[in-house]
Structure 1
Amino acid sequence: MTTRPAPRHPDIDVRPITEADVPDWTRALHTGFLRSPAPTQEEIDSRTGYLLAHRTQGAFDAGRCVATFRSFDQRLTVPGGTQVPADAISNVAVTATHRRRGLLTRMMTADLTAARDRGDVAATLIAAEYQIYGRYGFGPATWTTEWTIDVPRAGLDPRWSAPEDGGRIDLVDGADVRKTGPELHERLRRVQPGAVSRDERWWQVNTGVIHLDPTPWAEPFYALYRSPSGEPEGLVAYLCDDTWHDKQPHDTAQVQWLIATTPDAERALWHHLCSIDWVTRVRTGRRAPDDLVPLHLPNPRAAKATTHADWLWVRILDVVRALEARAYDGEGALVLEVADAAGLAGGRYRLEAAADGASCTPTGESAELTLDIADLATLWLGDESAVRLAALGRVREEREGAAHVADALLRTSRRPWCPDMF
């Protein structure tokens, strides 16, 4: 997608923020996301050191912050388990009074250029709106699905009380989660394409140690699964409401996040959630589109997909390293013509892939498949089909059958998934 030149407003100062800017920057962020524009002092104090330690930009008009942007270091898992350095982008907001003045383009261009020069393989973000980020070379690389389980129709044994495999489930507290959760997540992340790193702050925010939301913190339930040998293999955080009709319970368990490093752990945690007294519905939270949760139920129809949408967006900054980092199940070669309007990562490359590794090199050979950098990002983690994109006119075969070759090389047997919001 071609990026149209943005109108220039040199009187608006786009720059890294200082400590003195944090209150005004936070107000602009709240305004952009339609929250109360008056942040609490507790939030300002909490954000100050965190924001200044990262790559935080603001746009200032007559000294007032009117746009926000932040990025930070991240590790992204690609097919095969390699973790590549990524530039994670978040907190992007432009005040309604200052739209269409090129402020996001200025901040994005500075950030992506610095990320490329720093050696990041890709940039990542979770897009609030679909139409915004394609023009900056981002493509949707993973999708997410949420199911709502009708527990009475699921067909599970209502007397279920413990995993059949001899493992056990215990309710734990936030301190236990901060101790056990990071290592569990690392084990999942090492094998899950699309997963991203979590820092210590993530665990503090998600267990209530740090609370930025103006609404009171609601402590979730935490359930930990241990294998028969006592090894932690799964952890889930969930909230329950208290809803009754006609003297009958109709409670919903809302999963906030669930980590499972084995199928036994995953099955046991879903069965636990569906066995809680008074719970008649379980909302699974954001899962991979091909998650096994419906098939863990005797009646998969009891799990209805209630949300399905794009999730992690990726912008490739180094084509060679991106294609060489991931694993390939098939063997073959393909010459790609990659268009990049921003001039960050375009060119013609020859990809040679096999089960024992891949090489990607600039080449002068004739292109076999032509595509935009955003569409390469959509294909990179293995979720999308080049044949489908060709049918949509988003990639062009210069040699007949090249899209099928791309699919044979790039697509994965399980879909990539990013469990995180950032």
Structure 2
Amino acid sequence: MTRAHSDIDVRPITEAELPEWLRAVKTGFLQAPTVSEEELEARRERFEASRYLGAFDGGRCVATFRSFEQEVTAVGGTPVTADAVSGVTVSATHRRRGLLTRMMGQDLAAAKERGDCVATLIAAEYPIYGRYGFGPATSAAEWTVDVPRAGLDPRWSGPEDGGRIDLVNGEEVRKLGPELHDRVRAATPGVVSRSEWWWRHNTGVLRLDPKWTEPFYAVYRAANGEVEGLTAYVVDDKWGDANQPQDTATVRELLAATPAAHRALWLYLCSIDWVTHVKSGQRAPDDLLPLLLPDARAARITSASDWLWVRILDVVRALESRAYEGAGSLVLEVADRAGLTGGRYRLEASAQGASCAPTTESAELTLDVGDLARLWLGDESVTRLVALGRVREERAGAALVGDALLRTSRRPWCPDMF
């Protein structure tokens, strides 16, 4: 007999319940529901009881939810506090019972109470999170480069700007990577913070995935010796019928703080002996990669999708934290069905800064908090959302003002999955 929704207990888990919680996570993601001691110890390092939620039916964990502290870079480089949501599952036996709604409600209320500016997540399924005020705020694309077609000089042996490419190991990456990442994060809206735990996990010190393999690591050093770029990649082992190598290099990470580093690392990856294809991994949709090649069509988009989703928890702080290339003002009517941050606000913005405050003036644009999230990092167009019926223009010309204020010259990007 199906238990009543109210009989299912939604609450923070205890550390003793972490193995059962992890099994439920794996079940929800259709992974083998076994938890190794090594994985359990790694997870315990990050365990924060109040931010691990579980739904329990008769003692069995049937839904999971986790959040953790994060920062996300706003347009202009200011980091804002974020409630990063991850590990969201509901067992197939317990769907459509409001369990995610209960867990999400508890977490977002706690995030609002803590003073977090936004919440973030990577959505496995598109239709779910708009119900909770999230909107897709960045996009990602992956290219596959047909190296022989690209037209690159096969004799390329290194940067021509006085810089150099060096192979390094995971220990060196843990030393060099955080500072480089901070430089990239300060210059790129949408990039999220990384903990020391992240670097140990992603360089193999913490083995959460039994299939994890050690990648190759390469760094770009400028002429003055400063590290300005880093890539991590793996290569398969494939041979053609004529005993010719046809390997594919798959990029796990490529961070570049300068255009020179960006160019040098892509050219390096496309010049490795035996590699005939390079898969770029998830990149910003306006990544320079295709245009670095003499034949840009050699880089074919093989996937494109939304990526980082944002839920604004404080409209005033979110809009004041970001930079604006133009000047102008807008009165926004923000609808928030959860009642966390809805209302009417006047935004006054210029290149010198911005102010945002509640107002009783007539609205010029009316939109849902999730659609404001789409616009916040500059990746979406107000005019496009008006055409879709998602934003209502209350004053003629307000959409163009919104685009002039909110759009950015480069698209935001989040390189991380969490």
Q: TM-score, normalised by structure 2?
A: 0.98
CA distance in 2, matches of 1:74, 1:121: 11
Measured against aligned partners, the alpha-carbon deviations of 1:211-241 in whole angstroms (never above 9, x if no partner) come to: 11132x3110000110011110000000000
In the alignment, structure 1 residue 253 sits paired with structure 2 residue 249: yes
209, 217, 224: which is aligned to 1:229? 224
- What's 1:4 paired with? none
Change over 3 Å in CA distance of 1:49–1:230 after alignment to 2: closer
In the alignment, structure 1 residue 244 sits paired with structure 2 residue 217: no
292, 297, 308: which is aligned to 1:296? 292
Measured against aligned partners, the alpha-carbon deviations of 1:11-46 in whole angstroms (never above 9, x if no partner) come to: 111111111101110110000000001222222232
Q: Which amino acid aligns with 2:367?
A: L
Structure 2 unaligned blocks of 5 or more: none
Give 1:3-402 correspondences, 5 Å limit. 9-52=5-48, 55-215=51-211, 217-246=212-241, 247-402=243-398
CA distance in 1, matches of 2:309, 2:98: 21
Q: How far is 1:8 from its partner?
A: 6.9
Q: Which amino acid aligns with 1:188?
A: V
- 8 Å CA contact 2:13, 2:49 repeated in 1: no
- 8 Å CA contact 1:54, 1:71 repeated in 2: no
- 8 Å CA contact 2:83, 2:111 repeated in 1: yes
CA distance in 1, matches of 2:191, 2:48: 26
In the alignment, structure 1 residue 413 sits paired with structure 2 residue 414: no
Q: Secondary structure at the match of 1:135?
A: helix
Q: Secondary structure at the match of 2:278?
A: strand
RMSD: 1.1
Identity level (%):
71
CA distance in 2, matches of 1:307, 1:342: 33
Measured against aligned partners, the alpha-carbon deviations of 1:37-93 in whole angstroms (never above 9, x if no partner) come to: 122222223212322367111111111101111001111101111110010000001
Measured against aligned partners, the alpha-carbon deviations of 1:113-146 in whole angstroms (never above 9, x if no partner) come to: 1101111110000000000000000000000000
- 8 Å CA contact 1:147, 1:303 repeated in 2: yes
Q: Which amino acid aligns with 1:171?
A: L
CA distance in 2, matches of 1:238, 1:54: 36
CA distance in 2, matches of 1:17, 1:339: 33
CA distance in 2, matches of 1:306, 1:22: 37
Q: Which amino acid aligns with 2:344?
A: R
Q: Which amino acid aligns with 2:98?
A: G
Structure 1 unaligned blocks of 5 or more: 1-6
Change over 3 Å in CA distance of 1:328–1:198 after alignment to 2: same
Q: Secondary structure at the match of 1:190?
A: helix
CA distance in 2, matches of 1:354, 1:20: 52
Q: Which amino acid aligns with 2:228?
A: E
Q: Secondary structure at the match of 2:124?
A: coil
CA distance in 2, matches of 1:214, 1:96: 25
- 8 Å CA contact 2:229, 2:261 repeated in 1: yes
Q: Secondary structure at the match of 2:176?
A: helix
Q: Secondary structure at the match of 1:248?
A: coil
- 8 Å CA contact 2:71, 2:82 repeated in 1: yes
CA distance in 1, matches of 2:329, 2:227: 42
Q: How far is 1:415 from its partner?
A: 0.4
Q: Secondary structure at the match of 1:400?
A: coil
Runs (4 or more) in structure 1 with deviation over 6 Å come to none
CA distance in 2, matches of 1:52, 1:355: 40
Q: How far is 1:102 from its partner?
A: 0.7
Q: Which amino acid aligns with 2:140?
A: T
Measured against aligned partners, the alpha-carbon deviations of 1:163-195 in whole angstroms (never above 9, x if no partner) come to: 011111011000000000000000000010000
Q: Secondary structure at the match of 1:361?
A: strand
Equivalent pairs counted in the alignment come to 415
Q: Which amino acid aligns with 2:101?
A: T
Q: Which amino acid aligns with 1:234?
A: G
CA distance in 2, matches of 1:8, 1:172: 56
- 8 Å CA contact 1:54, 1:72 repeated in 2: no
CA distance in 2, matches of 1:53, 1:189: 29
CA distance in 1, matches of 2:274, 2:232: 18
